[in-house]
């Protein structure tokens, strides 16, 4: 690989399938999660949730709960301590424009499941029991939660959400070109609302340290976000708040924003001046962010040969009544294909739920599903192979930003994915392939996600025993961040990986952004590499100054850090152990920080994306409507792969989640009650083992120069396009075009 | 979860006595009751732990088989005699829940599990089954999983069991004991339709306890099946399931019984359709006609009309599988 971390040009750990460094801690229960930390005086909070979706609380009777032995306090809007006044103070790093939800703020109910009281007791069971005794009377209003009925109220968000690109200005004449096109396709697409449902429910343990100081263990994808939120909302000093989040049991975006259990736990701890933990129930995991309801229309105009002449992609997304949540849904249709006439539109409509939130590849999962099913329809309408159609319309530059791609190996992904899948053996005719009673379908789709980098820093400390400790504030949300950062550090300094320890998720560590957007490998990885290279420079300087230094009169460019030694390149006899350098130099330790951010010159000139080609085989029992996904090949173009094992895991997880989107996941709203009804894992279906068969992951070679390591990020690309590939395979199997997810039995039978 | 008393009697008589007072509940595996207590759906004042009662054996009885109320679902499913003589029952059990749950759940508990209606489980919503007279928001609400047969204006919930669907097709009987002594209830009379009292799932009288489920002396050989259709390929409740047994003389149906799961407040039998099958050739035409008789009685809700057609097709397939002697595998998810 061109971008090696080690100055020798070859890496020992980076690029290998190194197992997770935190694996033993996780499988032996040593890894502690937010709701597992404790304190000698720990009290337990249990949330009472609103039964109505809209209206106001007219009476709260907490007497029976307070009378239960062991109950310390019942916090409500009537007796809560004061908190900040301005919306600004509640706005976290990824908050959309609007007024963030404030728990126990006043008597207004904004959504069903809203916290209306917190019962704090000596133990969890007492708190839960007492919570069941809190009586809340409401004056209910009719909620509006049916987006389909509110589409005429859709509006262009007046204030853009930071970091979210609005649709580009249209180019060409999409309407005119559509009307003139010999092939016209116009479809409405919809995927169900989804909840993230990480295995670990949200929890915050707030340890009261005395003197107004707190240590907070929070389920959050970035401690800096919780820290800033606590400081803003409670007016606390930065030095009085220490936030840690060493491990997450899955986030998928649900842990990007500080959630109400953090607010409630901090409020209760400060009020009672003792440690408090608040853990949400699985049902309460359906009482905040979710992947929004988005109604989409895609209209494609093309020549008989399939050359695109017009793309129109319109989306109306639900948001809450208090914030304008935005994500990038339609822009992908201007990026993925080369088309002279494009018009993209994205609007919002307000419904009485909590604000939607980023969920794995937010917007792309939704928008690319619609586009890639539409492209399959175009392939069928023009009698072309779906890959040939995509190659005919292959984009060589990003028209939405008017920039060339920093790298784009999608062509190779199509080729290698198709070959591995055996795509050449596909009979293009729907309903043409069978395996016994089942119809067989082969479908494919393209995936895309933006490759991003954020300003990040990292610290590194090398001690005289030859051990290195690195770290920053970012979280490993299960993606393998601990492992890749350890690999990078070990290779940068030529240390054994066992001699490197990585610390993450601690607000006392070097500044780093929240873990999201697939930017962590590029951002924190580069910062770690730079911190370690700074250590290397210092060690070298120290080594050269030693008496009888084997590196005397050698420039830095000529030395190699390998096997715990600094050596002169090509002359292994001139070598000294790194630990020996510190000892001989009289140093206990050497410390350095590194910082990294997007290269603005590069990003002004190039657009960066990861791509994928997803191939799916389904077998469908048409009489009974049962769909089985029997085979998936996902070919990924995502720059340099730091760890082939954790990278593959990310793609496998994305594909499984994509199969869930395609066939199973659906949060069902009762529009009369304004309430999600299947709020548990028995009735909200995610794939189980029986649903998952062979998944084959290919990483195609791709060199990228947006950052020094050539890394693009992998957390999200695996899910994008997967649902479309499943839907396209179902069409190929059955001849039924289903534009609405999930594809459950009833839709096959319809 | 409410506070409760706890007793652990050693005899059936003591267990029945311990139920006096009204708000007591038997507990064995606890796989459903404990959940319901956490959701505040059940708030028993006393739990009567029956796990020490001598009801934990499978034994021969009257040429058939008697399965004690405390025998776990796993033990029944993997019992050699059950597998040999009542493979439908083993198959139905293995179609449900997970290995862990089946290891804990008991035969009696399976009979008495409560519906999985979303509204029943959600204390924040009205529900006539949970709180009589409060209303049924499932009617006109989120109801794609709800009943299409035997509903009432008060309740459209389904019984969630797989095992019970198998037992209904096998014409099992339930032996119970209570303050007035022992009695035997034909399986079809054990569960009830919601009518005006959806809070009552079954016909047990106050204080009665299930002693055993008894299977008649019958042998259908390979002519049986349990076919379950659901929203994912494992670990989901049935949208529609079919349990069927058949006896053939050549191609002619000598005897046939079937029950449907996921479609009613109880395992759904249709005696008219079963009678129609007798003496007919075992072919698609016959099965289609029988299935049409069954679904003629269907009354779907706002979101579950698909269940009518799914029931029809599932029944046709299930009867075909039973007739062909190719019962549905519960491990290979490809439908035979």
Give yes or no for A623 touching B (CB within 8 A).
Answer: yes
Give yes or no for B229 touching A (CB within 8 A).
Answer: yes
For residue B243 the two structure tokens come to 């349990």
Closest CA to B121 of A353, A283, A199: A283
- How far out from the chain centre does Cα A526 lie? 20
Residues of A in contact with B2 (CB under 8 A): 129, 132
For residue A733 the two structure tokens come to 């199997």
Cis peptide preceding A742, ω within 30 of 0: yes
B313 closest CB neighbour out of A437, A623, A750:
A623
CA angle centred on B226, ends B222 and B229, rounded to 5°: 145
Give yes or no for B125 touching A (CB within 8 A).
Answer: yes
Find the length of chain A: 750
Distance CA B236, CA A730 (A): 22
Tally of CB atoms within 10 A around A211: 6
At A14 the pLDDT is 97
Mean pLDDT, chain B, whole residue set: 97
Q: Is A363-452+598-750 in the same CATH topology as A23-31+455-597?
A: yes
Confidence of residue A3 (pLDDT cuts 50, 70, 90): confident
B317 closest CB neighbour out of A624, A687, A745:
A624
What digits encode the pLDDT tens for the residues B158-215? 999 999 999 999 999 999 999 999 999 999 999 999 999 999 999 999 999 999 999 9
Closest chain A CA to residue B124: A51
Q: Is residue B298 part of a domain?
A: yes
Confidence of residue A8 (pLDDT cuts 50, 70, 90): confident
Kind of pairing between the strands at A71-75 and A694-699: unpaired
pLDDT over threshold 60, residue A717:
yes
CB-based contact A129 B3, cutoff 8 Å? yes
Give yes or no for B6 touching A (CB within 8 A).
Answer: no
Distance CA A326, CA A304 (A): 36
CB-based contact B137 A624, cutoff 8 Å? no
Q: What is the dihedral of CA A709, A715, A716, A722, to 10 degrees?
A: 110
Residues of B in contact with A674 (CB under 8 A): none
CB-based contact B141 A677, cutoff 8 Å? yes
Distance CA A181, CA A102 (A): 51
Closest CA to A699 of A631, A607, A612, A608: A612
Chain A nearest CA to B198, separation (Å):
20
Query: Is A369 in a helix, a strand, or coil?
Result: helix
Q: Best interface-test mutation with A: which of B38, B231, B336 has the largest number of A CBs within 10 A?
A: B231
Q: Is residue B54 part of a domain?
A: no
What digits encode the pLDDT tens for the residues A679-715? 999 999 999 999 999 999 999 999 999 999 999 999 9
CB-based contact A672 B140, cutoff 8 Å? yes
CB-based contact B231 A437, cutoff 8 Å? no
- Bridge partner residues of B158 (DSSP): none
Give yes or no for A619 touching B (CB within 8 A).
Answer: yes
- With beta carbons less than 8 A apart as the criterion, state whether A295 and A147 touch: yes
Residues of A in contact with B233 (CB under 8 A): 626, 628, 688, 690-691
Residues of A in contact with B239 (CB under 8 A): 745
Confidence of residue B305 (pLDDT cuts 50, 70, 90): very high
Q: DSSP readout, A114-155?
A: -EEEEEEESSHHHHHHHHTT-EEEEEE------GGGGGGG-B
User: What class is the A363-452+598-750 domain?
Assistant: alpha beta
B334 closest CB neighbour out of A438, A668, A672:
A438
Residue spans of alpha helices (H) in chain B:
12-18, 33-38, 73-77, 80-85, 87-94, 99-104, 107-111, 118-121, 163-169, 187-190, 271-277, 284-295, 306-324
Q: How many CB pairs under 8 A join A and B?
A: 106
Q: Best interface-test mutation with A: which of B40, B119, B158, B233 has the largest number of A CBs within 10 A?
A: B233
Q: Long-range contacts: A237-240, Cβ < 8 Å, 24+? A: A240/A211, A240/A212, A240/A213, A240/A214
CB-based contact A438 B236, cutoff 8 Å? no
A677 closest CB neighbour out of B2, B142, B235:
B142
Give yes or no for B35 touching A (CB within 8 A).
Answer: no
What kind and span of H or E run contains A319?
A: strand A308-319
Confidence of residue A662 (pLDDT cuts 50, 70, 90): very high
Residues A691-712: b if buried by 16+ CB within 10 A, e if exposed: bbeebbbbbbebebebbbbbbb
Q: Is residue B282 part of a domain?
A: yes
Residues B140-170: b if buried by 16+ CB within 10 A, e if exposed: ebbbbbbbbbbbbebbbbbbbbbbbbbbbbb
Distance CA A623, CA B227 (A): 13
Rg of the Cα atoms in chain A: 27
Q: Provide CB contacts within 8 A for B280, sequence distance 6+.
A: B252, B253, B286
Cα dist from A500 to A171, A485, A489, A525, B297, whole Å: 52, 10, 7, 14, 70
Chain A nearest CA to B47, separation (Å):
17
Rg of the Cα atoms in chain B: 19
Mean pLDDT of B146-153: 98
Q: DSSP readout, B221-288?
A: TT-EEEEEE-SSSSSS--SEEEEEEEEEETTEEEEEEEEEESSSSS-EE-HHHHHHHTTSBSSHHHHH
Q: Provide CB contacts within 8 A for A189, sequence distance 6+.
A: A296, A297, A298, A369, A370, A373, A374, A739, A740
For residue A520 the two structure tokens come to 């962590």
For residue A505 the two structure tokens come to 């998720």
CB-based contact A746 B144, cutoff 8 Å? yes
Selecting among A314, A377, A450, A716, the annotated active-site residue is A716
Distance CA A567, CA A549 (A): 11
Distance CA B37, CA A564 (A): 59
Mean pLDDT of A536-550: 95
| SS3 of A217-240 | EECCCEHHHHHHHHHHHHCCCHHH
Last residue of a domain, one of B48, B66, B83: B48
Chain B nearest CA to A668, separation (Å):
7
Closest CA to A459 of A511, A514, A495: A511
At A2 the pLDDT is 53
Q: Is residue B331 part of a domain?
A: no
Chain A nearest CA to B165, separation (Å):
19
What digits encode the pLDDT tens for the residues A276-296? 999 999 999 999 999 999 999
Mean pLDDT, chain A, whole residue set: 97
Distance CA B83, CA B134 (A): 44
At A1 the pLDDT is 42
Confidence of residue B22 (pLDDT cuts 50, 70, 90): confident
Give yes or no for A123 touching B (CB within 8 A).
Answer: no
- A139 catalytic, yes or no? no
Mean pLDDT of A316-335: 98
131-150 of B, contacting A, C-beta below 8 A: 137, 140-142, 144-145
Chain A nearest CA to B306, separation (Å):
6
Chain A nearest CA to B174, separation (Å):
29
- How far out from the chain centre does Cα A35 lie? 21
For residue A296 the two structure tokens come to 């989409």
What digits encode the pLDDT tens for the residues A338-386? 999 999 999 999 999 999 999 999 999 999 999 999 999 999 999 999 9
B1 closest CB neighbour out of A129, A625, A750:
A129
Closest chain A CA to residue B306: A746
What digits encode the pLDDT tens for the residues A581-621? 999 999 999 999 999 999 999 999 999 999 999 999 999 99
Residue B261, domain CATH: 3.30.390.50
- Residue bearing tokens 């319809």: A750
Q: Best interface-test mutation with A: which of B40, B136, B141 has the largest number of A CBs within 10 A?
A: B141
What digits encode the pLDDT tens for the residues B231-285? 999 999 999 999 999 999 999 999 999 999 999 999 999 999 999 999 999 999 9
Cα four-point dihedral sign A14, A17, A18, A19: positive
Distance CA A449, CA A447 (A): 7
Closest chain A CA to residue B122: A677
Parse chain A into domains and list their residue ranges: 23-31+455-597, 363-452+598-750
Query: Is A568 in a helix, a strand, or coil?
Result: strand
Distance CA B83, CA B66 (A): 14
Residues of B in contact with A625 (CB under 8 A): 229, 310
Tally of CB atoms within 10 A around B43: 14
Rounded to two decimals, what is the model's pTM? 0.98
- Bridge partner residues of A215 (DSSP): A207, A242
Distance CA A121, CA A123 (A): 5
- Residue bearing tokens 């209830």: B185
User: What range defines the domain where residue B28 resides?
Assistant: 5-48
Q: CB burial class (10 A; 0-12, 13-18, 19+) of residue A158?
A: exposed
B1 closest CB neighbour out of A50, A125, A683:
A125
Closest chain A CA to residue B241: A624
Mean pLDDT of B292-302: 98
**ipTM beyond cut 0.90:** yes
* CATH code matching the domain that covers A23-31+455-597, chosen among 3.40.50.800, 3.30.365.10, 2.40.50.140, 3.40.30.10: 3.30.365.10
* Count of domains observed in chain B: 2
What digits encode the pLDDT tens for the residues A30-44? 999 999 999 999 999
Give yes or no for A211 touching B (CB within 8 A).
Answer: no
pLDDT over threshold 70, residue B1:
no
DSSP state of A506: B
Q: Is residue B247 part of a domain?
A: yes
A673 closest CB neighbour out of B125, B237, B239:
B125
- With beta carbons less than 8 A apart as the criterion, state whether A521 and A640 touch: no
CB-based contact A49 B335, cutoff 8 Å? no
């Amino acid at each position: 690989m061109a971008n090696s971390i080690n100055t020798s040009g070859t890496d020992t750990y980076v690029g290998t399938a190194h197992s997770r460094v935190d694996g033993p801690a996780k499988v032996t229960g040593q890894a502690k999660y937010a709701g597992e930390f404790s304190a000698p005086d720990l009290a337990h909070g249990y949330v009472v949730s609103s039964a109505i979706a809209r209206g106001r609380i007219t009476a709260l009777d907490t007497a029976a709960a307070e009378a239960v032995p062991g109950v310390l306090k019942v916090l409500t809007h009537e007796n809560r301590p004061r908190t900040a006044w301005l919306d600004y103070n509640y706005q976290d790093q990824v908050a959309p424009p609007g007024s963030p939800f404030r728990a126990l703020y006043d008597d207004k109910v904004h959504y069903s499941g809203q916290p209306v009281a917190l019962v704090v007791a000596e133990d969890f069971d007492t708190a839960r029991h007492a919570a069941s005794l809190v009586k809340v009377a409401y004056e209910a209003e009719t909620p509006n939660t049916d987006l389909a009925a509110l589409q005429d109220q859709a509006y262009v968000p007046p204030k853009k959400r930071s970091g979210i690109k609005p649709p580009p200005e249209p180019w060409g004449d999409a309407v005119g070109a559509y009307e003139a096109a010999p092939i016209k396709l116009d479809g409405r697409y919809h995927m169900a609302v989804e909840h993230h449902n990480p295995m670990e429910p949200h929890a915050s343990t707030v340890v009261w340290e005395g003197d107004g100081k707190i240590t907070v263990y929070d389920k959050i994808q970035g401690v800096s976000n919780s820290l800033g939120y606590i400081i803003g909302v409670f007016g606390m000093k930065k030095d009085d708040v220490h936030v840690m989040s060493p491990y997450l049991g899955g986030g998928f975006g649900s842990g990007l924003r500080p959630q109400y259990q953090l607010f409630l736990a901090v409020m209760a701890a400060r009020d009672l001046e003792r440690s408090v933990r608040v853990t949400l129930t699985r049902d309460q995991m359906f009482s905040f962010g979710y992947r929004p309801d988005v109604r989409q229309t895609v209209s494609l105009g093309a020549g008989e040969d399939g050359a695109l002449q017009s793309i129109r992609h319109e989306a109306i997304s639900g948001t809450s009544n208090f914030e304008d949540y935005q994500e990038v849904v339609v822009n992908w249709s201007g990026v993925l294909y080369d088309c002279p006439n494009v018009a993209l539109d994205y609007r919002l409509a307000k419904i009485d739920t909590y604000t939607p939130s980023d969920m794995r590849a937010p917007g792309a999962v939704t928008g690319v599903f619609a586009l890639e099913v539409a492209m399959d329809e175009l392939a069928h309408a023009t009698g072309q192979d779906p890959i040939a159609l995509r190659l005919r319309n292959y984009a060589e530059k990003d028209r939405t930003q008017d920039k060339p791609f920093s790298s784009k190996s999608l062509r190779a992904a199509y080729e290698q994915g198709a070959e591995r899948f055996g795509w050449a053996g596909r009979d293009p005719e729907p309903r043409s392939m069978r395996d016994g009673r089942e119809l067989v379908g082969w479908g494919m789709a393209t995936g895309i996600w933006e490759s991003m980098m954020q300003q990040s820093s990292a610290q590194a400390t090398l001690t005289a025993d030859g051990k290195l400790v690195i770290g920053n504030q970012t979280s490993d949300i299960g993606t393998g961040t601990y492992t890749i950062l350890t690999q990078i550090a070990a290779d940068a300094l030529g240390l054994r990986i066992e001699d490197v320890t990585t610390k993450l998720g601690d607000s006392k560590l070097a500044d780093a952004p929240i873990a999201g957007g697939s930017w962590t490998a590029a951002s924190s990885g580069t910062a770690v590499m730079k911190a370690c290279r700074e250590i290397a420079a210092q060690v070298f300087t120290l080594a050269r100054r030693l008496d009888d230094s084997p590196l005397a009169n050698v420039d830095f460019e000529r030395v190699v850090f390998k096997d715990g030694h600094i050596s002169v390149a090509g002359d292994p006899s001139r070598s000294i152990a790194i630990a020996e350098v510190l000892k001989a130099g009289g140093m206990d330790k050497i410390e350095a920080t590194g910082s990294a951010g997007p290269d603005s010159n590069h990003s002004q000139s190039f657009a960066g994306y990861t791509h994928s080609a997803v191939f799916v085989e389904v077998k469908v029992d048409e009489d009974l409507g049962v769909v089985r996904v029997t085979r998936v090949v996902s070919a990924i173009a995502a720059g340099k792969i730091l760890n082939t094992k954790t990278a593959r895991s990310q793609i496998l997880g994305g594909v499984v989640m994509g199969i869930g989107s395609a066939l199973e996941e659906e949060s069902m709203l009762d529009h009369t009650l304004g309430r999600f009804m299947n709020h548990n894992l028995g009735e909200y279906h995610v794939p189980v083992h029986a649903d998952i068969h062979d998944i084959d992951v290919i990483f195609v070679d791709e060199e990228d120069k947006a950052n020094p390591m050539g890394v693009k990020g992998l957390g999200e690309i695996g899910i994008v396009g997967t649902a479309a590939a499943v839907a396209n395979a179902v069409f190929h199997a059955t001849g039924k075009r289903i534009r609405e997810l999930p594809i459950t039995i009833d839709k096959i039978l319809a | 979860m409410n506070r409760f008393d706890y007793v652990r009697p050693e005899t059936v008589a003591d267990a029945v006595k311990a139920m006096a007072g009204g708000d007591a509940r038997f507990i064995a595996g606890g796989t459903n009751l404990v959940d319901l207590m956490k959701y505040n759906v059940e708030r028993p004042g006393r739990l009567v732990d029956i796990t020490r009662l001598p009801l934990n054996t499978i034994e021969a009885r009257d040429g058939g088989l008697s399965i004690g109320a405390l025998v776990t679902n796993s033990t029944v499913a993997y019992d050699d005699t059950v597998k040999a003589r009542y493979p439908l029952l083993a198959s139905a059990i293995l179609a449900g829940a997970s290995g862990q749950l089946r290891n804990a759940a008991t035969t009696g508990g399976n009979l008495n599990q409560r519906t999985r209606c979303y509204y029943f489980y959600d204390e924040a919503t009205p529900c006539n089954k949970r709180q009589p007279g409060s209303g049924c928001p499932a009617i006109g609400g989120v109801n794609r999983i709800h009943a299409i047969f035997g509903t009432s204006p008060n309740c459209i919930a389904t019984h969630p069991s797989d095992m019970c669907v198998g037992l209904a097709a096998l014409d099992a009987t339930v032996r119970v004991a209570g303050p007035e002594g022992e009695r035997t209830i034909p399986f079809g009379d054990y569960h009830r339709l919601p009518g005006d009292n959806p809070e009552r799932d079954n016909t047990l009288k106050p204080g009665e306890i299930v002693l055993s489920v008894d299977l008649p002396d019958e042998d259908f050989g390979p002519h049986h099946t349990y076919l379950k259709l659901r929203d994912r390929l494992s670990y989901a409740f049935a949208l529609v399931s079919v349990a069927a047994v058949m006896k053939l003389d050549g191609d002619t149906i000598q005897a046939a019984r079937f029950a449907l799961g996921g479609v009613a407040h109880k395992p759904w039998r249709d005696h008219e359709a079963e009678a129609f099958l007798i003496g007919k050739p075992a072919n698609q035409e016959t099965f289609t006609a029988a299935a049409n008789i069954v679904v003629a009685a269907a009354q779907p809700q706002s979101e579950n009309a698909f269940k009518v057609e799914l029931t029809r097709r599932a029944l046709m397939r299930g009867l075909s599988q039973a007739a062909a002697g190719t019962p549905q595998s519960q491990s290979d998810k490809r439908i035979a």
